[in-house]
Amino acid sequence: MARSALMNVMTQAAMKAGRSLTRDFGEVQNLQVSMKGPADFVSHADRKAEEIVFQELSRARPDWGFLMEERGAIEGRDPQHRWIVDPLDGTTNFLHGIPHFAISIGLERDGQIVAGVIFNPATDELYSAEKGGGAFLNDRRIRVAARTKLAECVVATGIPHLGHADHARYLFEARKMMGEAAGIRAFGSASLNLAYVAAGRIDGFWEHSLRPWDVAAGSMLVREAGGFVTHSDGSKFEFVEGDIACGNEIIHRALVGELKKAATAMRGTPKPKAEDADATEAAS
């Protein structure tokens, strides 16, 4: 596969940052035995990878802006272009020595994502897509899976954790999906979930409370692999918002349908009654 100059720039930045993360990943596994734990070290690894991506992309396109997980928004002289970067998606996996994490780089042009690269250095898998050019895994063309029944599908999601997202909503959604799909997986990296949908490894994906750098590159991959990407209610996907649902045309429609049913069921559940004021007083 002959890459465009733009894709070469993105690929080189991701792979250089990936080499840095690979070295640090070896160290973080050793730090598991320490009492303090490797959290501070991982934060340093994250920032170092982001600096590498920032320097590489700035050198190649000095006028373009950035939206980065650690640095936030950086205005560029060119208002049409902006890089959207997550230098370490799957931080908790990295922290625990689980080899499932990635560097994600998306390119926004005039408010639309037009290119994306996702690289998992632990498996040496590079996913790439450019608008109108298809999606690739290590230079091999990829497509979304062709299954048409949820009962035959494996669907990925992101499970809310301490202090993150709406736990009650997720439980309604998970309960609905458990009764419909062949399997549900939670891998701990939104960008790689999207890459796996693009590669046909999993059939669909939904998650809430995501940030632009979680989904910018991956949403482009899914679309270029022939998939459909919307918000969880089926509305037009805007990568700046916080939820996503995707799959091939049929599975995406079925997934959104089940999520809507879960939302309806949640709205119909009676809220717990407040404690009787007199009883509360008597107990105090």
Provide the phi-psi class of 202: left if phi over 0, else alpha when psi is between -120 and 50, else beta. Answer: beta
Cβ contacts of residue 40 below 8 Å, gap of 6+?
A: none
CA-based nearest residue to 205, from 226, 222, 225: 222
Decide: 83 and 64 in contact? Cβ < 8 Å.
Answer: yes
234-243 own/partner pairs: CB under 8 Å, 24+ apart: 234/260, 239/84, 239/106, 239/108, 239/113, 239/212, 239/215, 240/212, 242/208, 242/209, 242/210, 242/211, 243/206, 243/207, 243/208, 243/209, 243/210
H/E element, 12: helix 5-30
Decide: 76 and 82 in contact? Cβ < 8 Å.
Answer: yes
Amino acid identity of 163?
A: G
User: Does 233 belong to an annotated binding site?
Assistant: no
User: Does 276 belong to an annotated binding site?
Assistant: no
Cα 270 → chain centroid: 33
User: Does 88 belong to an annotated binding site?
Assistant: yes
| Residue 103 to residue 265: CA distance in whole angstroms | 37
The total number of residues shown for the chain amounts to 284
User: Does 69 belong to an annotated binding site?
Assistant: yes
| Residue 27 to residue 52: CA distance in whole angstroms | 19
SS3 10: helix
User: Does 86 belong to an annotated binding site?
Assistant: yes
The phi and psi torsions of 279 (rounded to 5 degrees) equal -65, -40
| Residue list, annotated binding site | 69, 86, 88-89, 214
| Residue list, annotated binding site for Mg(2+) | 69, 86, 88-89, 214
